[in-house]
Amino acid sequence: MGEPYTILKVMGPYREPRESALSFDYSVQRATWATPQGVRVKIGLREELDVLKAKMQLASEGTPGQQLRVNQILGRAMADCKLDIANAEHLFDERRDVMIAPFTASWSHLFPRLESWMDRERDTLRRNIAEKVGL
């Protein structure tokens, strides 16, 4: 497990230009750092977000506005999980800005941990979406 960190601020989601991805920008702080650092977490739309939506059977439910809100909720939850996985893998131990890519290609060895999280959190995420979006 990596060193504990505190999330000071999260901004996003942003649609990545020239990529099929959403990104969230985190400002994180560790007790040993004098200043926070930036961590950008990217969520692959087809490779990660659509997989989670399919597991939750949310692929085509709701209006376009509801689908946008579902993507925001699921994307943020997934980004938080990916940040925890990256911390456990010591990917942002040093004090420098870091980008966590979608868990594909050279990062694909981390996808099973994300998928395991998806399976564990499915019911909680569904309740959250029902409360906030009405689906």
What pLDDT digit, counting tens, does each position of 8-32 carry? 999 999 999 999 999 999 999 999 9
Query: Treating both helix axes as pointing N-terminal to C-terminal, what angle do 111-133 and 64-88 enclose, rounded to 10 degrees?
Result: 140
CA distance 91 to 114: 16
Q: What is the edge-to-edge ordering of all strands in the sheet holding 21-29?
A: 6-15, 21-29, 37-44, 98-100
Half-sphere exposure at residue 109, Cβ-oriented, CA atoms within 13 angstroms: 3
The pTM of this model reads 0.92
Residue 27, token pair as written in the block = 């400002």
What pLDDT digit, counting tens, does each position of 77-124 carry? 999 999 999 999 999 888 788 999 999 999 999 999 999 999 999 999
Give, as one character, the DSSP assignment of residue 5.
-
CA distance 21 to 37: 22
Rounded to whole angstroms, what are the CA distances from 19 to 5, 112, 117? Answer: 29, 22, 24
Question: Which amino acid is residue 19, in one-letter code?
Answer: E
The torsion defined by the Cα of 38, 108, 18 and 78, in degrees rounded to 10, comes to -50
